[in-house]
Chains A and B, each alone.
Chain A
Amino acid sequence: MAQKVFGAPIKGRAEPQMLRGEAQFTADITLPGMLHMAILRSQHGHAHIKNIDTSAALKMPGVVRVITGADLEGKMMPLPCVWIPGGVESHFPPHPYGLPGAGYALAKDKVRYIGDGVAAVVAETRDQAHSALAAIRVDYEPLPVVVDAEEALKEGAPQLHEAVPHNLNADWTCGNKETTDQAIANAEVVVNLSLYNQRTINNPLEPRSAIGSYDPITDEYTLWATTQSPHNHRFLLAYLVLGIPFNKLRVIAPNVGGSFGTKGYIYPDMALVIFLAKELGRPVKWVDTRTGLMQSTVQGRDHKQHGTIAGTKDGKITALRCTSYANLGAYPSTIGPGVATALMGRSISGVYAIENAFCEVYAVFTNIVPLGAQRGSGRAEATFLVERLVDLYAAEIGMDPAEVRYKNMIAPQSFPYDNHLGWVYDSGNYQATLDRALEMVEYSNIKARKAEARQRGKRLGIGIACFVAICGVGPSTRMSKEGMLGGTWESANIRVYPTGEVSMTIGSKSTGQSHETTFAQIVAEELGVDMNMIQFFQSDTQRAPYGQGTYGSRSFSLAGPALQLTAHKIKEKIRKAAAHMFEAAEEDVVYEDGKVFVKDSPQKVKTLQEMALALWYGWNLPPGMEPNLDETSFFDPPDFNYPFGSHIAIVEIDEQTGQVDLVRYVAVNDAGNVGNPLVVDGQIEGSIAHAIGQVLIERAVYDEQGNLLTNNFMTYAIPRATDVPRYELDRTVTPTPHNALGMKGVGEIATVPPAAAISNAVCDALSDLGVKHIDMPITAEKVWRAMRDAQAVKGNSDKKNVQQDQRVGK
């Protein structure tokens, strides 16, 4: 028996080239004769464009072309939006094909946010292109601006899009409003919480970049871009933006320097470099700056939520309700509206069996950067709300928060479990993850540790957050009902060469998740070949079979099964061909560990290479069998998969300064079978850090005019090595029934609960002061103010109860 490869902690195969600095990212590519593009972005949150004078810019050194929205008239369509709020009426800017539009590559007549592109300059060098931007004169007529989603819905608020009355993209709901309202009205205990899950900026370390080139002889276009969905972007850009034949556009994604959701969207620059490459007859390159990224790449979260939890005095939750205002920004991003509605709303009941639940999301346009996905999107916002509410409910009835959780968790024998909000949870043992996390953190000792910390001038708090996260997007039919305008399957190809080496190609694209390694492990395991014999391809639409890309923690649980299906086809073909060659009955022929043999006839054996060569020659095949070993499979899962887990945070708050130190972080996750623990733990650790950023330090701040005040790393903080603790990880394994490998999504799951766990810990540390909630990011200043205000209240009237929905900071 060969050594088990699937599930082994095999080192990343692509890592040595990255470590040597040899891995090529889009910005590292130089083509002969290449020109450089820079984009002039709006200076206003909302304004009419009265006139654009490009004449001075055209005379600047090295400038080859300057274009504005007028130059694209009739030549380029608006970008499309392809995930709309499902099942409800929705309103969008127009697209000529009757689809939802997402605005033009360069603004026409009007700008709607500070990142809106107004003009593009192409010059011989990047510096020349950037220098020329300053010479473009734009005459704006400023319009009133609205940056807040609730404000934007009000009568008299500035209107962004003619086709969108009251800036309301959709009023989306799920669950049963009537029974939920009834249950809340009749409940023994009701707790309310209003919070702002703040807007965040994903900030992958690699800014976005795109290079377009055009071959006039073949009339073919090539786009190199920072994309996590090359095939999808090929379809959208060719068919819906540029109006060129699908088979004339090739999209290549070189190494992608992190994405976390942001690079799954189509952006104006992609269409512009392709268009300009043809116009100018030379390749055109665009590389964003950090400030450019912050002002124009999709951002995350941004839900204002009003939540209510109801239950009995003895800890049974009877109802949950949420009304949320999702701030979509100025335009619908490629899949933003779907992310903001379904992924959030259907997830609000978390790991709990709650009889009555209802969620309503108002998806609203405002004059800020378009909203998209951020690692864990939708699920993180939902989990934050429910896990905070559960803690407040526990405090209200005087029960331990762990006990309330146990009391309401979906029981292990209840799967598949319909959450009545639209998801059917596949498999789980939620209690086991909480058991383990509590054990790791030594929960029973917590009182003593609080007392010890107090001696040192620290307030120690502990916070639990349990989660389940929809992953593995998804079954195509189901997604169509969810408003997705496209298929969501994956594909894989395996080719065995006559010399015995193997190549495998997937439609999905790694942005740092070690696809080259984990996916090869599946093939090595199935075919019984050495990893070093396997060549891996991805991310070039000319080379790879069609696929949808990496998002929604889907690659492993969709492309993985597609690969396994393909390997099975290969093995079956080998078995049939071998039965014919051995003159044996098919059922007696076995493929195992890279060899095919006849049961009980050990002399009748051939290696994978011998069979590959035989099938390549095709001299002696069963009647009707096609030569060669070259198979492709498409996998469309029967349903989503639902990884889950329990996280616990311990914080210490400095009584003098309010500084929150995250001293321990315990995370027990279950993502089904694990393909490579080294990779999976890496994803978990990175996910936790991402969420620590949101809860403690990150926030995109806009002023009333729509200016982004946090538009570089000096003003927008992301976690550094000193901001994060040592993560303490463990896992349980509950396979999904929805694919034969039993694998669930993992890439973003651990971003889902930490914000709630850490917030709960902070509020626990401040519980004796009556502090119920502090909006994220929980900075030292906010905590200090909360402590000061609470002490003042306490001083004034010891018996006075603090309002349940007290909000501190904003």
Chain B
Amino acid sequence: MQVLMTVNGKPMSAEIEPRMLLVDFIRETLGLMGTKIGCDTGQCGTCTIQVNGRSVKSCLLLAVQADHSDVKTIEGVAQNGQLHMLQEAFWEKHGLQCGFCTPGMIMSLLDLLEHNPNPSEDEIRSWLWGSLCRCTGYQSVVRAVQYAVEKMQQASVAEFATAQAQTRST
């Protein structure tokens, strides 16, 4: 079957078997190896990506189900070599160790912050329910998300202030 989708902003098309999972399409067909496979049954969350702006476990979708969708993987998060604030926060707070669950966690948490820019600790932990990590014990991940929230708020306040200043000066 022919599929056509936008992946990390670029149009992609390929001829694939209908049984192909989205995660295998991303890894094997597109060669985007940042998305991981950790469990085969949809529990671990290492294969999490975004389809049309929402996080999904790509092992639970067929590639054909993402036909004509906007797909974003971990490779599309950093822009021009600049880490996203959430990635920076993970680095700052040692929110990762072996790094295997990390891409999935980032993709999932970006969705959280997009829709809930100021989550409580309980909300962060509940959201993380979909991502398993065996290294960190989650505490440093929670710290990283809280730090990212703080930085993003500071950034948006600064942005607002700059915009205000510009408005006043014109």
Contact = CB atoms under 8 A, between A and B. Distances in A.
Same complex for A and B? Answer: yes
A19 B46 CA distance: 13
B134 interface: yes
B99 A14 contact: yes
A682 B129 contact: no
Contacts of B106: 19
Interface stretch (B34-42, B62-70, B149-157, B158-166): B34-42
12 contacts: A18-B96, A19-B96, A19-B103, A20-B75, A20-B78, A25-B36, A290-B38, A718-B132, A720-B128, A720-B132, A721-B138, A722-B128
A338 B128 CA distance: 38
A486 to B, nearest CB: 26
Interface string B85-108: 001001110101111111100100
Given A205-B44, A205-B133, A722-B125, A19 B100 contact: no
Of the four ranges (under 10, 10 to 19, 20 to 34, 35 or more), the interface on chain B belongs to 35 or more
B139 A206 contact: no
A324 interface: no
Contacts of B30: none
Contacts of A477: none
Contacts of B90: 15, 19
B14 interface: no
B137 A713 contact: no
A206 B33 contact: no
A727 B137 CA distance: 9
Contact of A21 (B34, B126, B131): B34
Interface string B17-58: 001000000010001111111111101101000000000000
A15 B91 contact: yes
A217 interface: no
A456 to B, nearest CB: 18
A679 B37 contact: no
Given A20-B74, A22-B34, A291-B40, A721 B134 contact: no
Given A12-B91, A20-B83, A21-B35, A290 B40 contact: yes
Nearest to B90: A19
A83 B106 CA distance: 41
A499 interface: no
Interface of A: 11-12, 14-16, 18-25, 27-28, 30, 127, 202-207, 255-258, 260, 287, 289-291, 511-514, 678-679, 681-683, 685-690, 712-714, 718-722, 724, 726-727
Interface of B: 19, 27, 31-41, 43-44, 46, 73-75, 77-78, 83, 87, 90-92, 94, 96-103, 106, 124-126, 128-129, 131-142
B117 to A, nearest CB: 19
Contacts of A11: 91-92, 94
A25 B100 contact: yes
B139 A12 contact: no
A205 B77 contact: no
Nearest to A375: B134
A205 B134 contact: yes
Contacts of A511: 98
B99 A18 contact: yes
Contact of A255 (B99, B101, B126, B135): B99
Given A22-B34, A722-B125, A257 B137 contact: no
Nearest to B133: A205
A713 B132 contact: yes
A690 B134 contact: yes
B136 A203 contact: no
B72 to A, nearest CB: 11
A255 B34 CA distance: 12
B44 A713 contact: yes
A466 B142 CA distance: 28
B83 A19 contact: yes
A290 B75 contact: no
Contact of A27 (B37, B41, B133): B37
